[in-house]
Amino acid sequence: MECYLDNAATTRPSEAVIEVMEKAMREEYGNPSSLHNKGFEAEKLVENARSAIAKTLKAKPKEILFTSGGTESNNQALIGGAYTKRRRGKHIISTCFEHASVYQPTEFLRKEGWEVTYLPVDSLGHVKEEALIEALTPDTVILSVMLVNNEVGSIVDVARLAKIAREKCPEILVHVDAIQAYGKLNINPSKMGIDLMSASGHKIHGPKGSGFLYIRDGINMVPFVRGGGQQRDLRSGTENVPAYAGFGKAAEDAYTDHEKKIGDMYALKQRFIAEVQKAVPQCIVNAIDKIKPLSEAVNETAPHVASVSFPGTRAEVMLHALEAKGIYVSSGSACSSNHPALSGTLKAIGVREDLLDSTLRFSFGLFTTAEMIDYTVEVLGELVPELSKYKRG
C-alpha cells in the first residue's frame, strides 16, 4: 500500500484542477494582455480565478494579487510592506517559529536597518500575548504571524493579536502567513483584522507555482517586480494562466462542503493520534493539550498536521524505513531540507533536546484514507522498537 502522508509539503492535484489547467494550456493559451479574443479568453480565466478565491475570503477580487507561491507572497508582504511604511517607523514584530519564507525576509530587513522582535510561544504553539504588548512601540509598523504552524499544526489566534497590536499601534500592518491554513480553516481577513495574507495553491490540491497575496483595499503596496504593469502594477509579468485557473478551481473546491471535508480530516487525525499512542506508548505528540480529552485537544489544532516524537530513534532513519514500506512523511518543513538543522519550531515549543532529532510530521489531505492511517500505525508499531535498538550514543 502507498501512503502519502506529507500533504503539508505538497498535495496531489485533483483531477478537476488538472482538467482546468489542461484546457487552459490547450485552448485558452493567449496572453491576458493581448487585445484580441485569445487574450480576452485568458484574461477571463485569470479574473474568474481571482473572483473564486476572493469569494472564499469574503473579499473583493481586486484584493487578490496572484504570485508564484507562498514564498513570494510572504516576501512581497514583508519587504514591500516595510518599504511602504518606512517613513512611519522601522520596527517589525514576528514570532520565533515562523516559516523560512518569513524569517529570511525579516532577517534581510534587519540587516537593512529595521529592528525585528521575535515573540516567544508556549508549548502548544500559542503566541504569548504579554510579549506582544511589551514589544509594541511607536515605531512598530508590521506584525507578521502565521495562522497555522507548518510543523506542529498549532493555530495562532491572529484576530486577538491583531486587536492587541492596533490598540497601541493603529496604523500597523498585520501580515498573516496562511499557507497551511487556507483551505483548512474558514478565514475572513476583514473580520480578523488582517491587512496582508499569503496562500499557496499546491497546499490545497492545486498546482505548484501558484499563490496569492491578499492586500486589503486601501493599502498602497510598494512592488518589487516591475515591468509590464500587470495586476495593477503590483506584480508585472505575463500571468501564469493555467496555474491561476487551477488555483481558482482548487480554492472553489476546497470550500465546497468544507465543513464535512474538514470534519473528516479531523477524524483521521484523531484516529491516527489515538492509535499511534497505543502502538508506540513511548511516543510524544507535540503541540496537543494533554490535559483535555483527545477529541477536544485535536479540534483546537489544524486538521491536517500531527507532529510525533519517537524517543530513541533518528528522524532520518525512521523516514527512510517508512519509505521502504511505501509510507511518505517528513521530519519537518520541506523547505528546511535544503538547509538541514534541528527544528527551530520544536525548540520554540520546548521539545526536549533529545527529541529534536526524533520527530516526524504526518500530514493529511483529501486523498488520505482510514486504511492509510491504520497501515502507517501498524508499521510504526513494528519499526520503532526495532530502530530504537540502534540509537546513537
User: What average pLDDT does the chain have?
Assistant: 93
Whether 335 is a known active-site residue: answer yes
Residue 285 C-alpha cell reads as: 505528540
Nearest Cα neighbor of 77 from 54, 119, 109 is 109
pLDDT of residue 390: 66
pLDDT of residue 228: 77
| β-bridge partners, 305 | 363
**Alpha carbon of residue 305 to chain centroid:** 11
Residue 272 C-alpha cell reads as: 491516527
Q: Among the options 3, 169, 283, 335, which is catalytic? A: 335
Q: Give the integer Cα–Cα distance in Å for 116 and 8.
A: 28
**Helical (H) or strand (E) element with 64:** strand 64-67
pLDDT of residue 239: 87
Residues of the chain short of pLDDT 70, as ranges, are 332-342, 390-393
End-to-end CA distance of the chain: 34
Q: Give the integer Cα–Cα distance in Å for 91 and 135.
A: 10
The pLDDT > 70 percentage for the chain reads 96
**Helical (H) or strand (E) element with 259:** helix 258-279
pLDDT of residue 231: 80
Q: Which domains does the chain have, with CATH numbers?
A: 3-11+257-388 (3.90.1150.10), 15-254 (3.40.640.10)
Predicted TM-score (pTM) of this structure: 0.94
Q: What is the pLDDT of residues 25-75, one digit of tens each?
A: 999 888 888 889 988 899 999 999 999 999 999 999 999 999 999 999 999
Q: Give the integer Cα–Cα distance in Å for 291 and 92.
A: 35
Q: What is the pLDDT of residues 149-159, one digit of tens each?
A: 999 999 999 99
